[in-house]
């Protein structure tokens, strides 16, 4: 279906010429799912944008071509390329908030694609748009078709983006992290839909993701990218059974799951190298435990280890064949035993958060949205409570309300006791003092970091406000040490949030929460935007802080791998209520509520035979 040969993409930047994609060669067959995996900054999304010729003004395809059914689409005029985009090749973008038009209804955005690329018009196009919304799991599609993007949750916007991409039934879909913002049940529904379309239409798919469990479930073949290059290509079964490149082995060892509980995850030291330089050796050499002298002086080529399995590594040439004992050794480090449950840091009883529905000229209250409807739980010092459930179940509202961030916006009742203090009774200076004890990591780091402040100002702000007794010099030392702990360089201090990737911004948000040394952290999807290796660094850091300082976590997430690795207790939310709660082992292995069982059935699993 598609042959990509020697694709090279370059970007002009203030720091020089960046080679984001370097001589990439791949083939994707009709009806095949080809997965492209790797860390942020490796060139995955830039590969997708290069194929569709949607590069920013500073970028260009410097060499190579993309052959689509015998036509090199790199050579087509823009007028003809528009006929290919959406109809022959479409893309599901990673960030629906920036991809959807905020002044058009979602129905109009879907019918625009249908009318541009098919013969369907008017009411028939609208009916098809409603059908697509239903197929991707939007509730009440006939009503929601007239909504604007701001009226939908993040997960719902992602589903709309998927409907737009599939509306003209393209031959090839490029899916760039299509399920990152979705909970496990909707994720399973979307993946099943993509599989069905592939089966019925022989549609090919280029799946770009960092979720290896989804790759194992969906992909026929896998290519692993690192620093703009493909470093390993194999059939999916072979790749998961026997990863060859040290980078691939590290990624698998960094995945959190129940089997690694009580052990330190094998995170990868360092970061992806800057791509504005000429490389003289292997690009992974500085982070590799198996590095040899020749790795730093000679460029390794992508060669066949066996038919259908290629790798770019000197370990597998005529002089190689070494095993990865040194890479795997890091995974075996045992952590100290979990603390016994101490006194509760947080105790919540019969908590309700109702948002009023107001109508009419005088905005009278005619009803309520019961976002949180009578939940009760407690978290002890040194323990982690995972709050799980689908989008819209009220998890984030619980977190915000506990910190008294929804006062005046909702009707709140029930009690929240923080270290024995009733939070709802605090105000002014007393509430400010209480916030030394509890901090929050928001789900969207881009929206929660001030774009006009440099990183050093963002990190120092909380310490200066809540701990005025700390001197300016001590503040600077504290934030420099924190940056190192979350895997970032001190050079980040003078930069602004927009200069970082999504994963890096999330690390900064975590560092900001940790800076005031709280006793409780409310973490709202803190690892959803992170790569596997960075996620391992953050989870290791959170476990370490919990053991050293006795920090408690309210961990809001839909990543069950993280829940299995980190949580001591689990609470399951549905429609604003807790339907099940208890020790993690009981909930994971002996769930009693059908909703909990449905959530666990929907979790993609990475079954490996090593």
Establish if 285 belongs to a structural domain: yes
Q: Does residue 1 carry a pLDDT above 70?
A: yes
pTM for the model: 0.81
Establish if 87 belongs to a structural domain: no
Phi/psi of residue 566, each to 5°?
-105, -35
Based on the fold, state whether residues 381 and 455 are members of the same structural domain: no
Based on the fold, state whether residues 553 and 419 are members of the same structural domain: yes
Write down which residue in 115, 145, 169 finishes a domain. 169
Sign, CA torsion 28/34/38/40: positive
Segment 265-297, tens digit of pLDDT: 887 877 788 888 889 999 999 989 888 999 999
Write down which residue in 118, 152, 169 finishes a domain. 169
Residue keyed to tokens 């079954």: 607
Segment 87-128, tens digit of pLDDT: 899 999 877 778 899 999 999 999 999 999 999 999 999 999
Quote the tokens at residue 214: 């989804």
Establish if 47 belongs to a structural domain: no
Establish if 576 belongs to a structural domain: yes
CA-closest candidate to residue 272, choices 589, 3, 46, 498: 46
DSSP codes of every residue in 402-448: HTT-SBTTBEEEEEEEETTEEGGG--HHHHHHHTTTEEEE-S-HHHH
Based on the fold, state whether residues 579 and 548 are members of the same structural domain: yes
Q: Does residue 570 carry a pLDDT above 90?
A: yes
Q: Does residue 71 carry a pLDDT above 70?
A: yes
Based on the fold, state whether residues 305 and 344 are members of the same structural domain: no
By CB atoms closer than 10 A (0-12, 13-18, 19+), residue 360 is exposed
Segment 226-258, tens digit of pLDDT: 999 999 999 999 999 999 999 999 888 888 888
Average pLDDT, integer, range 150-172: 87
Based on the fold, state whether residues 137 and 259 are members of the same structural domain: no
Based on the fold, state whether residues 513 and 524 are members of the same structural domain: no
Q: Does residue 454 carry a pLDDT above 90?
A: yes
Confidence class for position 322, pLDDT limits 50, 70, 90: very low
As a whole-number percent, the residues of the chain with pLDDT over 70 amount to 95
Based on the fold, state whether residues 307 and 388 are members of the same structural domain: no
Q: What is the pLDDT of residue 183?
A: 76
Instruction: Report the half-sphere exposure of 317 (CA within 13 A, side-chain side).
Output: 11
> How far apart, in whole angstroms, are the C-alpha atoms of residue 490 and residue 502?
18
End-to-end alpha-carbon separation of the chain, Å?
32
Establish if 136 belongs to a structural domain: yes
Q: Does residue 330 carry a pLDDT above 60?
A: no
Q: Does residue 311 carry a pLDDT above 90?
A: yes
Based on the fold, state whether residues 576 and 429 are members of the same structural domain: yes
Q: What is the pLDDT of residue 528?
A: 75
Q: What is the pLDDT of residue 202?
A: 84
Write down which residue in 288, 308, 332 finishes a domain. 332
As a whole-number percent, the residues of the chain with pLDDT over 90 amount to 44
Range of the domain at 430: 337-437+519-604
Q: What is the pLDDT of residue 326?
A: 44
Quote the tokens at residue 327: 């890479």
Establish if 366 belongs to a structural domain: yes
Q: Does residue 172 carry a pLDDT above 50?
A: yes
How many structural domains does the chain have? 4
DSSP codes of every residue in 88-138: TEEEE-S-HHHHS-TTS-HHHHHHHHHHHHSS--HHHHHHHHHHHHHHTT-
Confidence class for position 10, pLDDT limits 50, 70, 90: very high
Based on the fold, state whether residues 483 and 383 are members of the same structural domain: no
């Amino acid at each position: 279906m598609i042959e990509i040969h020697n694709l090279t993409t370059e970007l002009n930047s203030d720091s020089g010429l960046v080679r984001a994609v370097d001589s990439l060669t791949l083939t994707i067959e009709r009806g095949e799912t080809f997965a492209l995996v790797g860390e942020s900054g490796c060139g995955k999304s830039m590969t997708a944008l290069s194929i569709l010729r949607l590069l920013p003004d500073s970028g260009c395809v410097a060499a190579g071509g993309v052959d689509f059914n015998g036509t090199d689409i790199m050579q087509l005029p823009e007028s003809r390329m528009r006929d290919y985009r959406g109809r022959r090749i479409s893309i599901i973008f990673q960030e629906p908030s920036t991809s959807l038009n905020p002044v058009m209804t979602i129905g109009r955005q879907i019918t625009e694609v249908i009318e541009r690329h098919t013969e369907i018009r008017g009411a028939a196009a609208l009916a098809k748009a409603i059908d697509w919304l239903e197929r991707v799991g939007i509730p009440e599609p006939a009503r929601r078709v007239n909504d604007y993007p701001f009226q939908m949750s993040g997960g719902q916007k992602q589903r709309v983006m998927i409907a737009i991409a599939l509306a003209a039934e393209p031959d090839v879909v490029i899916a760039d992290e299509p399920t990152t913002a979705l909970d496990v049940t909707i994720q399973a529904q979307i993946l099943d839909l993509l599989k069905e379309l592939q089966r019925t239409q022989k549609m090919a798919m280029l799946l770009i993701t960092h979720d290896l469990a989804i790759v194992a479930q969906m992909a026929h073949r896998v290519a692993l990218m690192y620093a703009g290059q493909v470093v390993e290509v194999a059939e999916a079964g072979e790749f998961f059974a026997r990863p060859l490149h040290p980078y691939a082995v590290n990624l698998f060892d960094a995945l959190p799951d129940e089997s690694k509980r009580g052990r330190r995850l094998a995170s990868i030291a360092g970061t992806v190298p800057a791509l504005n330089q000429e490389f003289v050796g292997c690009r992974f050499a500085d982070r590799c435990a198996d590095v040899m002298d020749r790795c730093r002086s000679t460029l390794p080529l992508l060669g066949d280890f066996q038919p259908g399995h290629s790798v770019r590594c000197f370990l597998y040439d005529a002089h190689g064949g070494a095993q990865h004992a040194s890479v795997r050794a890091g995974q075996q480090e045992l952590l100290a035993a979990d603390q016994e449950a101490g006194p509760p840091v947080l105790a919540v009883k019969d908590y309700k958060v109702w948002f009023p529905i107001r109508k009419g000229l005088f905005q009278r209250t005619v009803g309520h949205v019961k976002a949180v409807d009578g939940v009760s739980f407690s978290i002890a010092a040194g323990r982690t409570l995972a709050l799980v459930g689908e989008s819209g179940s009220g998890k984030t509202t619980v977190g915000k309300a506990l910190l008294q961030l929804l006062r005046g916006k909702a009707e709140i009742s029930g009690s929240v006791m923080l270290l024995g203090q009733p939070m709802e009774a605090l105000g002014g200076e007393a509430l400010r003092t209480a916030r030394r004890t509890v901090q929050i990591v928001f789900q969207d780091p881009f929206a929660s970091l001030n774009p006009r402040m440099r990183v050093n100002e963002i990190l120092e702000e909380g310490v200066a406000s809540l701990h005025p007794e700390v001197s300016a010099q001590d503040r600077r030392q504290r934030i420099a040490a924190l940056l190192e702990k979350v895997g970032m360089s001190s050079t980040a201090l003078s930069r602004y949030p927009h200069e970082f990737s999504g994963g890096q911004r999330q690390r900064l948000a975590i560092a900001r929460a940790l800076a005031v040394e709280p006793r409780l952290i409310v973490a709202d999807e803190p690892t959803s935007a992170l790569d596997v290796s960075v996620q391992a660094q953050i989870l290791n850091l959170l476990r370490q802080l919990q053991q050293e300082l006795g920090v408690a976590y309210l961990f809001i997430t839909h990543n069950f791998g993280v829940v299995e690795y980190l949580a001591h207790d689990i609470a399951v939310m549905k429609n604003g209520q807790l339907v099940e709660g208890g020790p993690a082992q009981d909930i994971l292995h002996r769930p009693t509520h059908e909703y909990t069982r449905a959530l666990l059935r929907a979790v993609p699993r990475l079954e490996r035979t090593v």
